[in-house]
Structure 1
Amino acid sequence: MASTSQQKHLFEDYDGFVEKFKPKKTTDDCYTPPDNPPFSILSKICEFYLNRGISFFLFAPALTALSGAKTCMRTNHVFADCDIEYHNGAVVHTSFVTSFGDNVAETAPDLFRAVKRVQDERRSKERQRLPKYSYPSHVLTAAMLGKYAKYGVRLEVKPGDCVLVSALDAQREAGKSVYGKGLLLSDEAAARHAAAERAAAEQASARIWELSDRERAIVESLGSGEMTEEAPWCP
């Protein structure tokens, strides 16, 4: 078991330890995105801690959490079904690997709920901070197109009817921009866009009544010759 001072040094020099295992750039100087957390060397990190008697609780990619050939049977794998966004921008389906506990694998429903609660609170705060913009029909964004597809509204824009824009002049004056960029439309395309927006709004506000199991059975019997005068057309 490593002494307290040795453990303190190891944790303080963690970045230096991780750096030793990072692959160098190839001769063509190809760029490799930052590995944060360093999942590519997770098994080596676990082995390093285990061999020195250092307790740990680490994030791990869920689908390959059990793949450490040298460390799998020496560690506990905690599965909580979390989707976590890391510092490098990657969203990874995440579980955890730890030296704590006497299991090889276990599920952690409470941990899942705790992580989800924090994520939901954070997303709620972020949504509150996000400004809500309203654009004229001459501007079409990716979010708008996705909404129209969701509500079954078809809209097509030809190359001659649009140009790509990152911000309207009014937005530039305010230091703002179109999120994800957008298309500035011709008058004709803007008219089609306005019609698509109205159609999507109608679909969004429409209440759809679903058929009951009884009514579905009636529908299936129609045209089959099975319907009789005694059939329950109405309640």
Structure 2
Amino acid sequence: MGIRQQTIDDYGAFVDKFKPKKTTDDCYTPPAVYEAIKDWACREYGIDPDKVVRPFYPGGDYERFDYSGGAVVVDNPPFSILSKICTFYRTEQIPFFLFAPYLTIFSSTSRNGAHMIVTNSTIEYANGAQVNTSFVTSFGDDLIRTAPDLANAIDETVRRVRKEQRRHPPKYAYPRELLTVSRLGKIGRQVEFRVKASDVAFTRALDSQKAVKKAIYGGGYLLSEAKAAELKAAELKAAELKAAENVTVWPLNDKEKQIIGKLG
């Protein structure tokens, strides 16, 4: 990537900071929480788990998704177009059980005939957003209802997931060809390290991260092989210097050096 293109990309990122963010549209449900909700819906409404489909994924098109074979939608859709989605499913007679925003659930579904299940469940999604969530569905006879067993199942699952995350926090390691701010921060007090624009290319996420909806916090730079080796050497040198900072070295005096000189 040239300097000009990099500058354009950085400026675009700067401008994006000031655009309104629909954060709930980027909320990917933790698998354990989704399974608890799906299991409840299947038991409550007699849904065949093998018929459940999830058409809402990055790059997906729910209107062109294949709903043949008696498919039932159980998924977390973009909240900003929830009303449109419900109207589409009602018109096409596709059964659904969808996540919905808690505070605006009435206004989101008042004109499309969807039934509402109010649980006010605080779900922490994969992007870190905590959203108070309820549900809308084509199933059942009640226009509006509560579901204590569903709400409690979600709460218990959320607590378990949080506990497991605290006990087993994720550990990540980047390839040596990726330069991050934290890598420089670890060596900056011990070793001088310089990078020219021709040695690097900016990236916000590795392709392997995108597949699991992860990114490099703060972005990073891909390094040339030579520069990556130089950085690795700098890290080793910094580690040695840092270790030596807390070590008291006792020197030899002249007499001791003379004794050593006569030995052997």
TM-score range, shorter chain: 0.3 to 0.5
Provide the TM-score with structure 1 as the length reference: 0.41
Instruction: Identify the structure with bigger relative contact order (alpha carbons < 8 Å, sequence gap 6+).
Output: 2
Provide the TM-score with structure 2 as the length reference: 0.37
